[in-house]
Amino acid sequence: MRWSPRSGEDDIEDRRGEGGGGRRFGGGGLRLGLGGIVIVGVLSLLTGKNFFALLQDLPTDVSEPTATQGADPQRDASEQPLVEFVRFVVGDSQDVWESLLGQRYRRAKLVLFRGAVASGCGDAEAAMGPFYCPADEKAYIDLAFYEDLKRRFGAPGDFAQAYVITHEIGHHVQNLLGIERQLRERQEARPRQRNELSVRMELQADCFAGAWGHATSKRGILEAGDVEEALNAAASIGDDRLQKQATGRVNPEGFTHGTSQQRVAWFKRGLESGDPKVCDTFSLPDPR
């Protein structure tokens, strides 16, 4: 990507030097992160229980305090180029959504943390991966996740990193538009469709991330290979691929984010159109 350090309004909240700890997997609508998908998926397959559904019903205070990491000046300095890139992506993506939604858009903060963090949805650990909390309108990421994205999921590249951030900003858009609330109401009314509705929610966030990609392409920010990086990242974190990697088999009933094919397809839909209206995953009989 062609980008430069961003000046002016800062959408980053840097909490890497703070101790997090506390309660894991809080309530309040916390969207389970990519790392957490793998862990919970394995538990579901091995035990035959739907742990994704159980997590939806947990109260905020559910576990004992956990160990956390604090300030690390040397590591902070080494991460600074990545911080500047993340600052650019979260700021630029929100500029795009302001232009698309006008006064309906309210900027979110992206919280950088290390190890564990307290959020409005309860406390969380880095193993959960990046996540969005609608209760405090903030997205959260431990930058170490990008190393996992490259090595564990086989998805390197700056546009792949940008895809992760803009997917979480996509959840913020859903929150502002009332989609998040409607989803939770439908999940409570139709518990058997809880996972199916979650898949539709995640695929829409992928499409919203693609809509930002369209805007970057129109402005000449993308370079050769960028789109392929994002598509590879979307494919790498499909439920079917993650389940296969974790257990050697695939259980469609445990899907919560969509297959690799679905995630790629919906990201491409947003990328090619740039219009959020094409991202309505809820009106289709099957969001393929």
Residue 33: pLDDT band with limits 50, 70, 90? low
Report the length, in residues, of the chain. 288
pLDDT reported for residue 84:
95
- What does the pLDDT read at residue 20? 55
Q: What is residue 275's predicted lDDT score, i.e. its pLDDT?
A: 96
Please write down the HEC assignment for all residues of 10-49.
CCEEECCCCCCCCCCCCCCCCCCCHHHHHHHHHHHHHHCC
Averaged pLDDT for residues 260-265: 88
Helix 179-189, helix 158-176: angle, nearest 10? 70
Judge whether 11 and 94 are in contact, CB under 8 Å. Answer: yes
| Mean pLDDT (whole number) for 101-107 | 96
* Percent of the chain scoring above 90 in pLDDT: 47
Q: Is the pLDDT of residue 266 over 60?
A: yes
With tokens 């993506």, the residue in question is 93
The reported pTM is 0.80
Q: Under 8 Å CB-to-CB from 186, ≥6 apart: which residues?
A: 193, 197
Return d(Cα 39, Cα 246) in angstroms, integer: 8
Alpha-helical segments (H) within 126-253 = 145-151, 158-176, 179-189, 194-218, 226-236, 239-247
* Averaged pLDDT score across all residues of the chain: 81
Given a cut of 50, whether residue 97 has pLDDT beyond it is yes
Q: What is the pLDDT of residue 273?
A: 95
Phi, psi of 279 (to 5 degrees): -95, 20
- 234 φ/ψ sector (left φ>0, alpha ψ -120 to 50, else beta): alpha
pLDDT band for position 51 (50/70/90)? very low
Higher per-residue confidence, 47 vs 250: 250
pLDDT for 208 equals 97
| pLDDT (mean) for 210-224 | 91
- Burial bucket for residue 63 (CB in 10 Å: 0-12, 13-18, 19+): middle
What tokens appear for 224 in the block?
């050769």
**E strand or H helix at 133:** strand 131-133
31 or 133, which is more confident? Answer: 133
Residue 288 has pLDDT above 70, yes or no: no
DSSP class of residue 7 equals -
